[in-house]
Structure 1
Amino acid sequence: MVKAFYTWTRINHFDARMPNLVIANLHILLIEPSPTQQKIIVHHLQEAGVGSVHAVGSGKEVEAYLQHDRPDLLISSMYLPDCTATDLLLTLRQSEDWAAIPFMLVSSETRFRALDPIKQAGVVAILPKPFAADDIVRALKASLHYLEHEELELEHFDPHELRVLVVDDSLTARNHIRRMLNTLGIERVTLASSGKEACKQLNEQTFDLVVTDYNMPEMDGEELVRAIRSRSDGAYIPIMMVTSEQDQTLLQGVQQAGVSALLDKPFSPDVVKQTLLNMLNH
């Protein structure tokens, strides 16, 4: 019954249609400890048309720079002399002043256990090394969506009245998703730190949309989807799952449970917007 009403799709953050954005107006802070790599990346950014690039080599230099200037985008290597990019991003996300600055990772790192924490922290794009000019342009455009504030235009809902439940065991991830929804005009966002807490919230109030992570303790995302679909009022609630999980067997289980859409981390607001339009207008 659920499958008849929802078309399950997996969406990668570079798959969405990209608007005509002005890369030339970007002010970028590059964090790269290697002078050679600094020159290479700055050269690629300049070739891509970026108007202003400043480079530093450590997390401490980033904090000093942010005291007197605010870049539009941070681009960082994974391993810095005094911290990792994950450590740096988590620090920024905890700051009221710097939490909303988009953060892009440039790294040859491929291990899941190394990349998953920074995905959970809300990195907006990951650019693998080595990369071509087209790759960095796509990554820049994906990052630029975070600087736009364009409300959803829905047929059956007022975005300001849309009631959304966000479920993730990471406080940083919950706040990141909430900020993204806010940029789309969605203001009534309730946060839950676990699947069990989400079920409690669903017992206490009604929601128009559930956004959940997959990997959570006690009750994972698939179990939460099944719990929602088993409710008398849960068969038709749109459920969007955002995850860095790559195990296709596990993801097939999520599909069978009745998820409405599945987004890879990292993802852009443009992808979220299009996904919400598809789910809520139908």
Structure 2
Amino acid sequence: MPSPRSLKILVVDDQQSMRGLARQCLARLGVQEVALAATGEAALDMMAETRFDIVISDLNMPGLSGVDLARRIKEHPVFARIPVFLATSDAYREQAEDETVDHFVAKPFSVADMRGALEAHLGPLE
């Protein structure tokens, strides 16, 4: 069982309120290390400096979309094994279907949905 305390998660969303909400949900699950990026490009820069266990990215962002970011991560020799969760409402999920996306997280974020996404990929949390 993975401990949420041991996870380093990068949240990428162009909306500050959504980044904050994601951080709050993850904190309530016990995740202590959450980094925030406003763009896909900023996320890639942060990933060059820090190793993350999971990337949670919004689908619709200016510049690199969430799918574009997922593809860049999966094509990179160092980042390729990092799970990428795509955050989107059900209305946009079909356009986000892509083999590079490891899991989907419902937006707006909730603790229950975030737990479900993490457990679907990692197994039961402590």
- TM over 0.5, shorter chain: yes
Q: With a CA cutoff of 8 Å and minimum separation of 6, indicate the structure with the bigger relative contact order.
A: 2
Q: Which residue of 2 aligns with 1:196?
A: 41
Question: How do 1:226-241 and structure 2 match up within 5 A?
Answer: 226-241=71-86
Q: Which residue of 2 aligns with 1:44?
A: none
Q: Secondary structure at the match of 1:246?
A: helix
1:135-177 Cα offsets, whole Å, 9 max, x none, are xxxxxxxxxxxxxxxxxxxx1x332121000000111110010
Counterpart contact for 2:18–2:108, Cα < 8 Å: no
Q: Which residue of 2 aligns with 1:208?
A: 53
1:219 is displaced (CA, Å) by 0.8
Q: Which residue of 2 aligns with 1:179?
A: 24
Q: Which residue of 2 aligns with 1:3?
A: none
Q: Secondary structure at the match of 1:277?
A: helix
Q: Which residue of 2 aligns with 1:163?
A: 8
Q: Which runs of 5+ in 1 are unaligned?
A: 1-154
Q: Secondary structure at the match of 2:51?
A: coil
Q: Which residue of 1 aligns with 2:108?
A: 266
CA RMSD in angstroms, aligned pairs only? 1.8
- Cα separation, 2, equivalents of 1:171 and 1:220: 16
- Cα separation, 1, equivalents of 2:57 and 2:37: 9
1:33-77 Cα offsets, whole Å, 9 max, x none, are xxxxxxxxxxxxxxxxxxxxxxxxxxxxxxxxxxxxxxxxxxxxx
Question: How do 1:45-60 and structure 2 match up within 5 A?
Answer: none
| Cα distance change on mapping 1:176 and 1:249 into 2, 3 Å | closer
Q: Which residue of 1 aligns with 2:123?
A: 281
Q: Please give the TM-score of this superposition, normalised by the length of structure 2.
A: 0.88
| Cα distance change on mapping 1:217 and 1:178 into 2, 3 Å | same
Counterpart contact for 1:211–1:242, Cα < 8 Å: yes
- Cα separation, 2, equivalents of 1:210 and 1:248: 17
Q: Which residue of 1 aligns with 2:63?
A: 218
Question: How do 1:65-76 and structure 2 match up within 5 A?
Answer: none
Structure 1 stretches of 4+ with a deviation exceeding 6 A read none
Determine what percentage of the aligned residue pairs are the same residue. 33
Q: Which runs of 5+ in 2 are unaligned?
A: none
- Cα separation, 2, equivalents of 1:268 and 1:198: 22
| Cα distance change on mapping 1:158 and 1:249 into 2, 3 Å | closer
1:269 is displaced (CA, Å) by 1.4
- Cα separation, 2, equivalents of 1:272 and 1:204: 25
